[in-house]
Every structure is written in C-alpha cells, then in structure tokens.
Amino acid sequence: MTNSGPLDEVRRTRFELVRSGRWNEADRLAGAVLAWTGSGLDLAYLPGGQVPESGRPAVFRAVQAANRGTGRAEAADIARRVLASAESLDAGTFWQAVMVLTYADEAALARRHWIAAPGHLGDVHDLLGGRIMVLCGDPRAAVRLLDGARGRGVRPGLRVVAVAWLVLALVEAGEPDRARAVLETERLTEHPDCAELCFARGRLLLAQGQSAAALDEFLDCGRLLSAWGVVNPAVLPWRSSAALAACDVGDLVLARICADKDLVAARRWGGPRGIGLGLHAAALARGGDDVLLEEALTFLGQASTAAEALRARHDLAQLLLARGEIDRARKHTRRLREAASGPQWTQAVDALASRLLRNDGESALSGQERRIALMARAGRSNREIAAELRLTLRTVEFHLTAVYRKMGVAGRPGLRRAFVPTA
Amino acid sequence: MNRWSAEPGHACPAAVAAGLLAAGENWTEAVQTAEQAVAAPECRGSAPCMSRALGTLVCAGELVVADEYSLALLEESADDLVMAEHMQLARACVALRTGDLARCSSLLDVLRCNGTVAEIRPVVLLWTVEVLVAQGELAGAEALLLADGAEAALLAHTAAAHDPSRPLLHAAKAVVAMAMNRPHDALTAHLACGQELVDAGVLNPAVLPWRSRAARAALACGDTETALHLAMEEHAAAARWGEPRALGTSLAAVAEASPHGEDLLAYERAIRLLEMAHARLELAEVLCDYGDRLTAHGKQAAEVYAQARATALDAGDTVLVRRAEEAMSGAGAEPALTAVEAEVARLVHAGLNNREIAARLAMGTRTVELHLTRVYRKLGLSGRRELQARRARFRTTPPGTLRTHRGAPGGPST
C-alpha cells in the first residue's frame, strides 16, 4: 500500500464524496485515478484490500460493480477471464478475482480455480479456500484451512480477515466456544476490515441467542460498509442478519426495513444466495410467512450454501409445527435430517422430531398463548406481560406452561430459539 | 414529485410507482416498479416519468440508486432541457436528504434562476426555504417567500382544488413561521399542507413529514396532546411504509411529545434509524433534542451534543451547530439541586436514614422520600447506594432561587 500524498488526498476526497451522498462521483474518481496512475487499488472496499500490491484496472472495476450491486454477469465475466488467462497471476489479482466470483455466487467456479491455483500463493490461497468452503457448505474444511493459515502466519494485511472468517466458519461448524476464544486472543482495533469482524461477531452472538448485542454488531458493520459506499448484500448480508436479530428482540418494524432493503438490493444484483437470505429475513420479519420461506429455500438451494438453506428449512419446519401443519412440518424435518451436517444440526433435528412425535395437530398455539410466547421471547418478564395484557401473574404462568408443553421446549431459553409465529 | 395518480388508461410503471409511493403501503413494490420505469424505454425518454420514478426512489430512501440513475439520465439526455431540470431537482433532493446543504443550495440556485419548468418551482421554493432556515438566513427565507408570491398564490388558488403546488407553499410558509418563532402560524400552515396532501391521496410521510413538523409546532404552542396525537399517527404511517428516515423522524416526534420516562428509548431508536438512513440533518436535530432530554433527566449529555455538533457541522446546518455549542457550554455542569434537595442528599450521604433526616429537617418521611426521588432523577442515580458512593459536594441553585426556608437545619418551620 502506497502512502504517497496525492493518493491520500484522493482517498480522503472519495470518503468525503460518499459521506455527502455522491456515491457515483466517488466511484468515478477512484476509477479515473486507477486508470491514470495505475495505483490506488484500495479505493474500493475489499476485505484484505491491502493485498494487491499490483492488480488490474479491469478487476478493480468488477470489485466496484460488486460493491455497488449492479452488473453481476459482467463482473463475474471479468473475473472468469482474468483467472482463465494463461499468464501466471500475482496474489493480489488472484485475491480480487476469486472474491468477485464468490460475490457473484459462482462458488463452484471459484473452487475450480482455487484447486488449480499454483502453490506460491500461500496465505492468500488458504484464506480464499476457507471462504469458498464455507460457501460450499463445508465449514469444517474451512476451519482446517483458516486455522492452518493462522498457524503458519498470514501477512499483516490479512490478519483481520483471517480472524473474521475463522470465527464465521467456527460458528457454522457449531463450535461457538472456539469462535469466542479466537476472538478473545486477537486484539484488533481500527482496521479497514473491521466490517468483516463485526459481522462475524454478530453471527456468533446471534447463534448464542444474544440477539440485542448481535443487532448492534450488525448495525456497526453496516455503518462501516456505508462509509465505503457498499450497498450490495452479497458483500456482507448484514441487513438480513440484523433483521433476524431484530425479530428475536421483538422489533418487527426494524426487521422488515432491513429485510426488505436487502431483498430489493439482492434482486438488483441477482445472486441467488442474497435473494434467499433476504427472503428468509423478510419471512420472519412478517411474523412467519411460509410462502416466502419456501421461496427462500429454492433460492438458497441454487446457491448451494448448505448452512443457510438448513437454517431456512429449520425455521420453516418450526413455523409449520407451531401452526399445527404437521404433515408439512414432518416433510421438512425429514429433508432436514437428510441434509443435516454437524452436531448442532443433528440436535436441532432431534428436537424437532421429538416435538413432532408429541404433537398431532394439537400443537397450534391459541391467540393468547402466541401473544404471551412472543412477549416472553422478546425478553419481557412475566410481570411485565401480565401488566401489559391486564392478566394476573398466575394466568401468564399458566399460559406459558402450556406454550412450553405444546412447543416441546424446556423453558424461556428454549422458547427463544424456537419459532413463534405472530400471524 | 407532484403528480401522484396515473391518468386513466395510461398506467406506465412510473405512474404506478408514484401511486404506490403516495399510498405508502408497499415499499418493495414501489422501489421495484420505479426501477422498472427507469429501465422501460417508453418511460426513460419522458421527463415527467423519470421525475416520478426518481421521486419514488428518493422517498423510498434508495439514495445510492437515485444518485446513479439521475447522473446517468442527466448525461444521456444532454439536449433535453426539461429532463435536465428534473434530474437536477432529483440530485438536489438527494443532497438535501443526505445533508449536504452547500451542494443542495447551489443546485437549487441554478434551478431557481434559470429554471423553465413551471411545475418544479414550488418544490424548489420549499427546499430553498428549508436550506436557508438551516443556514440561519431567516431574512433571506422570508424575502424569498414574499418574492415568489407564495401567499398570493395560496389566496388566488383557493377555488382550484388539487393544485399540486399548494401543499408545498403551505409547507414553505410553515417552515419560515416556525423559524421566526411563530408556532401558531406554523401549526396552522402545516395542518393546511397536510390536509391538501391527504385530499390529493398522498398518505405517505416519506413524501413530506408534515405531521411530525406540526407536532413540533404544537409542542411549541404548549399543546402536548395534539402533538402526541400527530406524532403517533405519523409513526403508524411511517411503520407501514418501512423506510428508516420517515420512521426515525416520526419516532423522534413521538419522543419529543412523550412524558418524561417514556422517551429516552424512543430517542435512541430514532437515532439508530436516522443513522441507517444517512439522514445527517435530521440526525443532528434529534441528537440535540436527545441531549436536552438527557439533561432534563439529570444525565450527562456532553457526548451527545458533541456528536450533534459534528454532524451539523458536516451538513452545514449552522443553526444546529450553534444550538449544540450553546448546550455544550451549559451542559458540562451537573443539574442543580434545590437547597432542600442538596441538604437531604448531604444527610443521606452522611449515612442517616429517612426517618432521622425527617426529624432533623422537621418534615414528614414522605416529603424526604419525595426530595430523594428528585435528587436521584436529577443526578441520574439508581438509588441510595449510588448516592452514598458519590463525592460529597452537591451543586445547588443560586440562593436567589431558593424556594423554601424550611429545609435549612434549625430553620424556622411554618
């Protein structure tokens, strides 16, 4: 990374333009500087953006397009052509091109190029492998690669990305404790890649049921990305994730705002993964919409992002079960068992199956039970619920016991993880 | 942004998008239809269509996209003057909504001086007035209102129903009245603006948040009930639309009109939403309000004011910069306790219980409890233990404002 005066000036001007809502002019400025001077590859957001000592203006344009969230086909095309070119690639160009492919949901293609890549790429190769493996639904392989890379040492510019992606992979692999340990050993402060770290921390907190803290992390992530002018959820689907966290804390309006915005942006970009995540979030933000969830499943199935499809199917099965649509719930539980990978998913499927055994269509909650369950799930105390619904404390306790029994959960913590439809 | 409904039999995507915006019920559909309009060849060449599509995108908070499309359209139709003016207007709107007052002002100046399209004049007038007021140029804003003959236009057109410029003229009048410290006039004008909009079928607060502005005016008139009612109505409508700026603005109005104790959380949520929306002007104002409310609760607000000042400075809103600075110079100190409250606090700090204090100060234990509650609230403490853990000195109001003599130990009891 160069520190020459004029380039710093450009960098500042670019941020100033983005801050004043002149996103397009900011992009043009960056493009012009790059075309003119051949340097300034860090003028667009890319995690590990300090890798490219060299690089190509064409790939830079693809990165810009990915940030803006328009022109997916062209961006993927540029990346594909660069990777297929006969000349040997430097680490920076390889990093940029493979990242663009993963943004464009071309994980299978990215994987082929990754396997074929020459060995001298070292840490860049390992890290990209980790990212590709998570997207292809093999988080354990990702953990091996990322852990190995960290053991061998990664260049300073990639340290933060390595931590963030390892945490994400560990969360997907069902090892939140290890993820937490990794986060604690690393002391990271101001760094351009902090958005990745916020996102990973948010996913960890969400997986552990600390939704309010997770929401804050996702919103921080969004703040950092918007300072860069990143709009595309394919870069980091922070709004969809924030929507899930907001649902958990009972703020359905915020959830809907986040989910819909991501969904519209994902459709603009056209990547199935982002659309599926947006649909999933939009379904939950509407208090549980099984049609949207089914649609989400078809998109997530296309993108072969296994864990995300599993999550959507799990929510769908819980929703159907809570509604008393036992046959459909059973079908999805079966599909879930076939696809389940990792201990956390086997456990989740077992819990669903045992609830299904106990419930024969009687499981649908009554209106009052649903209201109380939702409030309890949002973290309200029994006393607060009683006051708000003008019931006695005993009545609230009575209803909650029925909710726990009907939903087959052990208590409040179980309720938080289980799905309660509002409609 | 003035033509809301499609002409019968001619529902192009741009008209449909504008209709969806006006109704304010389906954000996703409105954004996607507006983008279809930009892509549709029959709409793309038409300035009114593009004006509707861009207006919808801006009011939907899709500012990045609006910025991109307006620039592209501006460049591709260089010889179409009408299109150019509409697109400059859209760009001015993006600048206003992201809080770039300087650029907004220069774009509007060009339109005001050289503009030929009659229907955008009232929009330009309203936004210019808003910018001037934010820049502290009240006289300029008022002069502009007179020069443009807004008043005369409103009187002359009383018969002509659904003139799209009328709500905008009312709004401009209201903004100036509010800034000139005439809240009653502001309230009347805001309500008139709202009535016109509702009559025209524009129910979406993202187009013009007249209810929250009216709520502020009502508060300034001392009518909390009307203010709360207006704010709640707007909040419900903003939640239906689902766009963070409108929602944050309405939530801040709700917080402003709410009784103490129910407001801080609403402010925090409003700030979060306005940050998401990249709404620097609104954010700076809400931060100032939040700081005032924190101070009233007896809590520290210096950081909030500092953030408000930085945001206002960034946006070029000199009025808010000054307000935050004045608040900062006053806010460093702790809120003052009355002499009795300070005495009660001192005795609690010394380890006396309420009954002992009551005996010492010749008052009932209930009265002691009452004073203590006020002390906790003013100092932002949770209770006796926190008070006892504090340093011993308590700042009191100057003796001139002393309201009672009964509190002084050994003082005369009436």
What gap in Å lies between CA B140 and CA A110, rounded to an integer? 60
Predicted local distance difference test score (pLDDT) of residue B157:
57
Residue type at position A389 = L
Contact between chains at A219 and B98 (C-beta distance less than 8 A): no
Contact between chains at A219 and B239 (C-beta distance less than 8 A): no
Which residue from A minimizes the CA distance to B93?
A21
Q: Which pairs from B170-174 meet CB under 8 Å and 24+ separation?
A: B170/B196, B171/B126, B171/B208, B171/B210, B171/B213, B172/B122, B172/B125, B172/B126, B172/B129, B172/B130, B172/B145, B173/B145, B174/B210, B174/B213, B174/B214, B174/B217
Interface of A with B (CB under 8 A): 19-25, 68, 70, 219, 222-223, 226, 229, 231, 253-254, 256-257, 260-261, 263-264, 267-268
**Range of A21-25, A86-90, B242-246 with top mean pLDDT:** B242-246
- R_g of chain B, CA atoms, integer Å: 26
Mean pLDDT, rounded, for A202-207: 93
Which residue from B minimizes the CA distance to A231?
B64
- pLDDT by residue (tens digit) across A135-187? 888 889 999 999 999 888 888 888 889 999 999 999 988 899 999 999 887 76
In the structure, what pLDDT confidence band is assigned to residue A193 with cuts at 50, 70 and 90? confident
Interface of B with A (CB under 8 A): 27-28, 31-32, 35, 61-65, 67-68, 71, 94-95, 97-100, 103, 239, 242-244, 247, 269, 272-273, 275-276, 278, 314
CA distances from A67 to A64, A231, A237, A294, B238 (A): 5, 6, 12, 28, 29
Structure tokens at B252: 């801040």
Instruction: Assess contact for B270 and B255: CB atoms under 8 A.
Output: yes
| Bigger pLDDT: A364 vs A77 | A77
pLDDT above 50: residue A115: yes
Contact between chains at A264 and B276 (C-beta distance less than 8 A): no
Report chain B residues whose CB lies below 8 A from the CB of A267: 32
What gap in Å lies between CA A45 and CA A393, rounded to an integer? 53
Determine phi and psi for B396, rounding to 5 degrees.
Answer: -115, 165
In the structure, what pLDDT confidence band is assigned to residue A205 with cuts at 50, 70 and 90? very high
Report chain A residues whose CB lies below 8 A from the CB of B27: 260
Contact between chains at B71 and A268 (C-beta distance less than 8 A): no
Beta bridge partners of B337: B396
Predicted local distance difference test score (pLDDT) of residue B393:
53
Contact between chains at B242 and A231 (C-beta distance less than 8 A): no
| Bigger pLDDT: A407 vs A147 | A147
Which residue, chain included where needed, has tokens 């150019």? Answer: B84
Which residue from A minimizes the CA distance to B99?
A20
Q: Mutate which of B106, B273, B276 to disrupt the A interface (most A C-beta within 10 Å)?
A: B276
Average pLDDT over chain A, rounded to whole? Answer: 85
Report chain B residues whose CB lies below 8 A from the CB of A25: 71
Query: Residue A327 in 3-state DSSP?
Result: helix
Contact between chains at B97 and A21 (C-beta distance less than 8 A): yes
- pLDDT by residue (tens digit) across A303-344? 655 788 888 998 898 888 877 788 898 899 998 888 877 777
Residue A71 falls in which region: left (phi positive, over 0), alpha (psi -120 to 50) or beta: left
Which residue from A minimizes the CA distance to B97?
A21
Predicted local distance difference test score (pLDDT) of residue A419:
64
Q: Which of A19, A253, A261 sits opposite B247 (nearest CB)?
A: A253
Contact between chains at B100 and A21 (C-beta distance less than 8 A): yes
Contact between chains at B242 and A222 (C-beta distance less than 8 A): no
Q: Mutate which of B20, B28, B32 to disrupt the A interface (most A C-beta within 10 Å)?
A: B28
Measure the CA dihedral A356/A361/A363/A368, to 10°. 160
Predicted local distance difference test score (pLDDT) of residue A304:
57
Contact between chains at B100 and A223 (C-beta distance less than 8 A): no
Instruction: Assess contact for A51 and A94: CB atoms under 8 A.
Output: no
Predicted local distance difference test score (pLDDT) of residue B410:
37
- pLDDT by residue (tens digit) across A259-269? 999 999 999 99
Q: Which of A23, A219, A253 sits opposite B67 (nearest CB)?
A: A23
Instruction: Assess contact for A82 and A58: CB atoms under 8 A.
Output: yes
Question: Nearest CA to CA, how far is A199 from chain B (Å)?
Answer: 16
- pLDDT by residue (tens digit) across A31-48? 888 877 776 667 888 888
Q: Which of A317, A344, A315, A355 is nearest to A333 (CA)?
A: A317
Report chain B residues whose CB lies below 8 A from the CB of A226: 278
Predicted local distance difference test score (pLDDT) of residue B403:
35
What gap in Å lies between CA B38 and CA B3, rounded to an integer? 17
pLDDT above 90: residue A361: no
Determine phi and psi for A286, rounding to 5 degrees.
Answer: -95, 20
Structure tokens at B77: 């139709």
Question: Nearest CA to CA, how far is B196 from chain A (Å)?
Answer: 28
Q: Which residues in chain B come in under a pLDDT of 70?
A: 1-10, 150, 152, 154-162, 260-261, 331-336, 389-414
- pLDDT by residue (tens digit) across B70-123? 999 999 888 888 999 999 999 999 999 999 999 999 999 999 888 888 888 889
pLDDT above 90: residue A349: no
Count contacts between A and B (CB, < 8 Å): 60
Judged by average pLDDT, the poorest of A224-238, A294-308, A363-377, A408-422 is: A408-422
Determine phi and psi for B337, rounding to 5 degrees.
Answer: -95, 155
Structure tokens at A17: 């333009």
Instruction: Assess contact for B208 and B191: CB atoms under 8 A.
Output: no
Contact between chains at B63 and A68 (C-beta distance less than 8 A): no
CA distances from A130 to A114, A174, A218, A235, B23 (A): 11, 16, 22, 16, 47
